[in-house]
Amino acid sequence: MDIKFSVIIPLYNKENFIKKTVLSVLEQEYNNFEIIVIDDCSKDNSLSVLLNQVILFDKNNKLRIYKNKVNKGVSYTRNKGIELSSGNYILFLDADDEINNKYLFNNLNSFIKKYKADYILLSRNYHNRFIRPNFRSIRKYLRYLEGDFYEIIDNNSVAIKGDFPFGGSGSAVISTNILKDHRFELSEPLYEDWLFFIDLFLKNKAFYYNFESIKVNFDKNSLTNSYKKSSLPRLPKVYYLLKNKEDYKQVKKEFFWLWLNSNIKKDLKYIDLCRILKEYKYEIKENITFSKKSINIILRITLKIILSFVRSYKEWKMNDSSMGKR
């Protein structure tokens, strides 16, 4: 009997993307799947695009559309999708992502039935700029099985060397057998998907499908991309999850430097940069590591600090010079 896949798509203000996203799923050369789209009270025409345009392409009644009564956030909406789903396996997509492999479900169906796989990591294309995970960086932690499928023999190393490939939508197809009561954390606005996926990935036997299957598009209005530069960044809960697990100590260190680097922006003012470094001085000391990846990140952070100081010094000199002329 063929496996049923449930594709869960939370929708909020994606009128320019949602049509391509849903159509990319409807184009699958496979019959046993459902698409659950939950609108989280979009303020644009996202829902209208679904009801008046996309639904016309749903010839086999695969699409189910719901709407939250009030805006509840992406984590609540994904959890609601899990409760509404009826499939054996779940794939989460953001409303601006696309499946760019029309045989994805066919290939997964055959592989899962043969190897009883519960967690299959997928290869994703980010904005046509890079692929995650980088196959060359994780190759030695994989065992070849067949076609484009591999068994992951060291989950921790794949997490570190693959730049945490399980984070984000479209990162994996997951069996409801291991999902059970596992849900997205409602109080975590950033990295909420990492918090959800990381424990599942590190605890369970995982496989990797090395065929570019998901296209992750860039939406400048997303929550992550609109995070205020001036606000003091907060370490996400996923860090403390890793900290409390002895087996994840090295993964925790790598995650910290990746997170810190992402929050020290190139145009950050020197005074704000100093506030961040002061706030997390104990974590910086605690997570010092000499892996090649971490050293590269530390060097990039150091360069940003130097450039920020030079920029701030030049601004101070210019202001001081202007005051002197008065």
Output the DSSP codes for 121-136. Answer: EEEEEETTTEEES-HH
Domain presence at residue 224: no
> What pLDDT score does 308 carry?
81
Structure tokens at 180: 């059970």
Same domain, 205 and 243: no
Domain presence at residue 39: yes
Same domain, 185 and 284: no
* Mean of pLDDT over the chain: 87
Same domain, 55 and 185: yes
pLDDT at 209 exceeding the cut of 70: yes
Pick from 231, 229, 251, 247: nearest CA to 239: 251
Same domain, 211 and 243: no
pLDDT (mean) for 162-169:
75
pLDDT confidence bin for 221, thresholds 50/70/90: low
Same domain, 80 and 131: yes
- Whole-model pTM? 0.84
Domain presence at residue 223: no
pLDDT at 60 exceeding the cut of 80: yes
Domain presence at residue 154: yes
> What pLDDT score does 223 carry?
47
> What pLDDT score does 194 carry?
81
Same domain, 173 and 41: yes
CA atoms within 13 A on the CB side of 11: 32
Distance CA 97, CA 51 (A): 19
Domain presence at residue 232: no
Among 56-60, 110-114, 196-200, 223-227, the range scoring the smallest mean pLDDT is 223-227
Query: What percentage of the chain has pLDDT greater than the value 90?
Result: 52
Q: What does the pLDDT look like over 248-303, one tens digit per residue?
A: 888 888 888 888 888 877 677 778 888 888 899 999 899 988 877 778 878 888 88
Which one of 216, 251, 271 terminates a domain? 216
Any idea what the CATH number is for the domain that residue 101 is in? 3.90.550.10
pLDDT (mean) for 4-22:
96
Report the run of H or E that residue 155 belongs to, with start and end. helix 155-161
Domain count of the fold of the chain: 2
Distance CA 317, CA 323 (A): 10
pLDDT at 32 exceeding the cut of 70: yes
For residue 21, give its domain range. Answer: 5-216
pLDDT (mean) for 65-84:
96
Q: What does the pLDDT look like over 178-207, one tens digit per residue?
A: 998 899 888 877 777 888 888 899 889 999
pLDDT (mean) for 298-322:
78
